Amino acid sequence: MSRIVECVPNFSEGRDQGIIDKIAAPFSAQEGVKLLDVQTDSDHNRMVVTAMGTPQSIKKAVIEAMGRAVAHIDMTRHQGQHPRMGAVDVVPFIPIQDLTMADAVALSREVAAEAATRFNLPIFLYERSATAAHRANLAAIRKGQFEGMAEKLKNPLWQPDYGPARVHPTAGVTAVGARAPLVAFNVNLGTDQAHIADAIAKKVRHIGGGLRYCKAMGVTLKGRDLVQVSMNMTDFSQTALYQALELIRMEAKRYGVAVVGSEVVGLVPMQALMDCAAYYMGLEDFSIKQVLESHLI
């Protein structure tokens, strides 16, 4: 088994295919890196790259891509619906295999230090890599957006962790950090009553007194006469998917409503579902190394 980290950098270009291709190219060219997805949105004027690989290969590819974004994106002329503060807006690292969160934090610091020096870019460490509590949340760092950063960086509370203490004239400001993998997990209820999904979502999510790494809201599934508790599980290694599912089942009983199904949207780390299999089967001493395919990665 290799050490594998995921990297999902967001760049502020979603319209010019030539520039999009230039920024994505280092991920497909780099040995040891697998480029999984390049998502672009012209309304947001933003691109999101999803890549996985060994830490040092990912580091090389993302620094190269950051350099290209700094060279080709001019934030003074950038317009788009999504909040943004820099050409390289945010670079999250997610530990996937044989890598601790501390390893991912260390990698994020290496990348931030090197990119800040090479591209003369002010960089904030965020999420698990943050150096102060008020800088952990990306939205807090990004508040004011590109246009407000010159003023913001005068505040001693908002000195960048790496690079100059002033905005890059065309590339703005960047956030780099480690975070846990995010799993989009939805649970369907056998009712069409939206208020029931809303009420259950409120009980199960962190801000309502529920599970720590669970964000949730009620959603109506058109065409199916069902409602859904739609969740973002922000750290499945701490808050397991089965915990959210069983808590929802418990709350649903209050309304005489059954859980009729669930779904995982998009990609999910193998461990998140293995934890569920192990829980429901009562598996003892199970290790991911027993999965045949883990030896092929």
3-state secondary structure of 253: helix
Residue 219 in the binding site for its own copies (CB under 8 A): no
Residues 186 and 233: their CA atoms lie apart, in Å, by: 10
Residue 31 in the binding site for its own copies (CB under 8 A): no
* Site for its own copies, residues 125 to 154, rule: CB under 8 A: none
Residue 13 in the binding site for its own copies (CB under 8 A): no
Q: ∠ CA(206), CA(48), CA(120), 5° rounding?
A: 100
Among 245, 247, 252, 257, which residue interacts with its own copies (rule: CB under 8 A)? 245
Amino acid at 37: D
Do strands 88-97 and 174-178 pair parallel, antiparallel, or not at all (unpaired)? Answer: parallel
Class of residue 12 by CB neighbours under 10 A (exposed 0-12, middle 13-18, buried 19+)? buried
Tally the C-alpha atoms within 13 A of residue 97's C-alpha that lie toward its C-beta: 20
Of 148 and 261, the one with the shorter C-beta distance to its own copies is: 261
Among 108, 188, 234, 243, which residue interacts with its own copies (rule: CB under 8 A)? 188
Q: Specify whether 195 is catalytic.
A: no
Smallest separation (angstroms) from its own copies to the CB of 221: 11
String of contacts with its own copies for each residue 85-104, x by CB under 8 A:
-----------xx-------
Sign of the four-CA dihedral 79, 82, 83, 88: negative
Find the catalytic residue in 44, 72, 78, 82.
82
Nearest to 121 by CA among 79, 180, 80, 62: 62
Beta strands in 111-213 (DSSP E): 123-127, 174-178, 183-189
Of 25 and 260, the one with the shorter C-beta distance to its own copies is: 260
Residue 290 in the binding site for its own copies (CB under 8 A): yes
Smallest separation (angstroms) from its own copies to the CB of 4: 7
Of 153 and 180, the one with the shorter C-beta distance to its own copies is: 180
Of 38 and 267, the one with the shorter C-beta distance to its own copies is: 267
Taking phi first (over 0 means left), then psi (-120 to 50 degrees means alpha), and beta for anything else, what does residue 99 get? beta
Residue 56 in the binding site for its own copies (CB under 8 A): no
Residue 273 in the binding site for its own copies (CB under 8 A): yes
Question: Catalytic residues, which ones?
Answer: 82
Q: Which residues bind its own copies (CB under 8 A)?
A: 4, 6, 34, 36, 52, 96-97, 181, 188, 241-242, 245, 259-264, 266-270, 273-274, 276-277, 280-286, 290-297
